[in-house]
Amino acid sequence: MMVQLTINGELKQADVPPETTLLKMLREYLNLTGAKLGCDVGDCGTCTVIVDGESVNSCLMLAARAAGSEITTIEGLANAQQLHPIQQSFEELGALQCGFCGPGMIMSAKNLLDKNPEPSNAEIRDALSGNLCRCTGYTKIIEAVADAGQAMNSAEA
């Protein structure tokens, strides 16, 4: 079945079997391999993308369910002039090690900062609680999210 959706501002479509998840559609049909497959059952968060303004485990969402929606993936954050402030902070503060949790973690962080530009430490931890990381202990990730929030606020001011 033909599924059409908007990804990172571009209209895209693919002909996928009906049981295809959004994650598989992104990775195997649209060549967007940023979102990862870590467990395929919504436990680890490495597949997190933003669908119509909400962060979602794309392994749990059927591609059909996402039809017609606006999706943001990790590939849509940077532009030719600069990294997204979250990507910039993550890089500067050494927040990622193996990087496998990175795209999902950054999308959850973006979802938080888009809605709550000055989150407390507890609010950051809460927003990231569905994204598992085994390498970093989350410490530098949390610092980087707070740092990115400040950068985003002063950019707008």
Partner 1 sequence: MIKRGRGMACMWYPIGFTVAANPSAATVKVNTDGTATVLTGTVETGQGALTVLGQIAAQALGIATDDVHVVSADTDTTPMDTGAIASRTTYVTGNAVMLAAEKARDILFQAAAPLLEVPPDQLEARDRKIQVLGFPSKSVDIGTVAQHSETVLGAPSIGSASYNPPTVPMDPETGQGKPFNTYVYATQIAEVEVDDETGEVEVKRIVAVHDCGTPINPMLVEGQIEGGISMGVGFALQEEILFKDGAQINPNLTNYIMPTSLDMPEIEVELVDNYDPTGPFGAKGAGEPTAVPTAAAIMNAIHDAVGVRITSLPATAEKVLGGILELQAS
Partner 2 sequence: MATRTKDVQTDADELVTAREARAPAKQPLTLPADDPVAFPLQLPESKARLQTPAVGQRATRPDGRLHGLGQTQYIDDLTFPHMIHAKVLRSEHAHARIVSIDTSSAEAMPGVLATLTGKEIPRNSFGPTLQDQPVLADDVVRHRGDGVAAVAAVTEQIAADALEKIKVEYEPLRPVFDPLEALGDDAPRIHGGDTNIYASKVIKKGDVEKAFAESDHVFERRYQTQMVEHVPLEPHASIASWDGNGRVSIWSSLGRITLGREDLARTLELPQSKIRLIGTIVGGNFGGKNEITNEPILAMLSRKTGRPVKSVFTRGDEFVSSTIRHPFTMDYKTGVMNDGTIIARKIRIILDGGAYCSWTGTTIGKGSILAPGPYNIDNIHVEAYAVYTNKTTTGAMRGFGAPQVCFAYESQMDEIAHKLGIDPLEIRLKNAFSEGSSSPTSQTLQAVAIKESLNQAAQRFGWKEWQA
Residues of this chain that bind partner 1 (CB under 8 A) = 39, 41, 43-44, 93-94, 97-100, 124-126, 128-142
Cβ atoms of 79 and 41 closer than 8 Å: no
114 binds, among partner 2, partner 1, none (CB under 5 to 8 A by kind): none
123 binds, among partner 2, partner 1, none (CB under 5 to 8 A by kind): none
Residue 63: partners with Cβ closer than 8 Å, 6 or more residues away = 3, 5, 14, 16, 20, 21, 22, 24, 25
Residue 122: what residue type? A
Residue 125: what residue type? R
Tokens at 83, concatenated: 């990294």
Q: Which is nearer to partner 2, 80 or 122 (CB)?
A: 80
Q: Name residue 13's beta-bridge partners.
A: 4
Whole-number Å distance between alpha carbons of 51 and 66: 8
81 binds, among partner 2, partner 1, none (CB under 5 to 8 A by kind): partner 2
34 binds, among partner 1, partner 2, none (CB under 5 to 8 A by kind): partner 2
Q: Which is nearer to partner 1, 53 or 94 (CB)?
A: 94
Q: Which residue has the tokens 């809460």?
A: 126
| Least distance from partner 2 to the Cβ atom of residue 124, Å | 17
Any idea how long the chain is?
A: 157
- Residue 75 within binding range of partner 2, rule CB under 8 A: yes
Residue among 65, 67, 85, 83 nearest 75 (CA): 83
Binding mask 35-74 for partner 2 (x = CB under 8 A): xxxxxxx-xx-x---------------x-xx-xxx---xx
Residues at the site binding partner 2, with contacts judged by CB under 8 A: 1, 3, 6, 8-11, 17-19, 27, 33-41, 43-44, 46, 62, 64-65, 67-69, 73-83, 86-87, 90-92, 94-96, 98-103, 106, 132-135
